[in-house]
Amino acid sequence: MPSKVTVDVEGRTLGLSNLEKVLYPETGTTKGEIIQYYTHIAPVLLPHLRDRPVTRKRWPNGVEEASFFEKNAPRGTPDWVRTAELPSPGSTKDRETVVYVMTDELATIVWLANLAVLELHVPQWTVDAKGKGTNPDRLVVDLDPGEPANVIECCRVALLLGELFDDAGLPSYPKTSGSKGMQMYVGLDGSATDDEVSAYARGLAQRLEREHPKLVISRMERAARGGKVFIDWSQNNAAKTTVAPYSVRARTRPTVSTPVTWDEVEQGARSTARKRLPLQFDIDDVLARVDEDGDLLAPLLDEAYALPEPG
């Protein structure tokens, strides 16, 4: 593979460089292979990024070296890349606004991957036609296991949460985080604020903590999480982001945040494996899964439910 190439991506001219650079030393996965993955996964990834400001995490010298989060569009951003200037309350850099990259087309994905952007993180709200942030159109809960708990315990908690969502008439959709845990989503109609969505998710987490105190915790104190799954309801705060579906993760291998079926979650919950954990997927696995099953989160793009009244 040549070190530098110029490519045409749907009418956009892009220069790609250092394609042979190894970003994942354990597997030998190169930047060129990451660009190739994002190019092939784009048809199912882009709908989940559309109209959402993207926070990127970059590893210019590979996953064993330093990384950095990037919110603002970087210097040299092509003029065809869509951006959105949005308020930045509580910015650690004392900025009143941030100019976010809006990743709505394949060329933008390829451009970001060429910058060694591995991880894509998005909020649960979108930017409207006037350039303003909206109420959330998704509820998310993040399932974060405290050692020695792992994804098996996350599957068990996901099933419990799924029952609560079913009882409320809310279809829910699980995915792996691509790291240690999982996330679950519900499609919303935008009638509730992020505070209201957070409060609803917190109520579910607290209920499960009361009912399953040895398995679930809803509080953020890390010291109390050992062997339990933290249901992080706070990811619904408008200022927070969650790893996007189909995003690569910067682990030792190029794992992916992967939508999964409820059958797979049930199988994971029954697993007794501790060395080879269930629901671990890398870039090759995910491309094969999408070829066979399409986007398991596709219904989420069209579903819009009102948040139930607190009860």
* Structural domain ending residue among the three candidates 134, 167, 195: 134
Give the pairing of strands 97-102 and 53-58: antiparallel
Q: Are residues 93 and 55 in the same domain?
A: yes
Domain of 115?
A: 4-134
- Residue 310 domain-assigned (yes or no): no
| CA 107/CA 87 separation, integer angstroms | 26
pLDDT higher than 70, residue 187? yes
Q: Are residues 62 and 190 in the same domain?
A: no
CB distance 133 to 86 below 8 Å: yes
Query: Domains in the chain: how many in total?
Result: 2
Q: Are residues 91 and 33 in the same domain?
A: yes
Q: Are residues 143 and 292 in the same domain?
A: yes
**Residue 311, pLDDT score:** 62
* Structural domain ending residue among the three candidates 89, 115, 134: 134
- Residue 307 domain-assigned (yes or no): no
Q: Cα–Cα–Cα angle for 123, 252, 44, nearest 5°?
A: 40
> Model-level pTM?
0.96
Q: Under 8 Å CB-to-CB from 176, ≥6 apart: which residues? A: 151, 182, 256, 257, 258, 260, 279, 280, 281
Q: Are residues 50 and 190 in the same domain?
A: no
Q: What is the CATH number of the domain that holds 181?
A: 3.30.70.3300
| CA 140/CA 242 separation, integer angstroms | 8
Q: What is the CATH number of the domain that holds 29?
A: 3.90.920.10
CB distance 183 to 297 below 8 Å: no
Q: Are residues 151 and 296 in the same domain?
A: yes
In this structure, what DSSP letter does residue 225 have? -
- Residue 308 domain-assigned (yes or no): no
Q: How confident is the model at residue 274 (pLDDT cuts 50, 70, 90)?
A: confident
pLDDT higher than 70, residue 48? yes
**Residue 90, pLDDT score:** 55
Rg (CA), the chain: 19
| CA 62/CA 37 separation, integer angstroms | 16
**Residue 4, pLDDT score:** 86
Residue range 248-277: mean pLDDT, rounded: 95
* Structural domain ending residue among the three candidates 134, 154, 181: 134
| CA 209/CA 224 separation, integer angstroms | 12
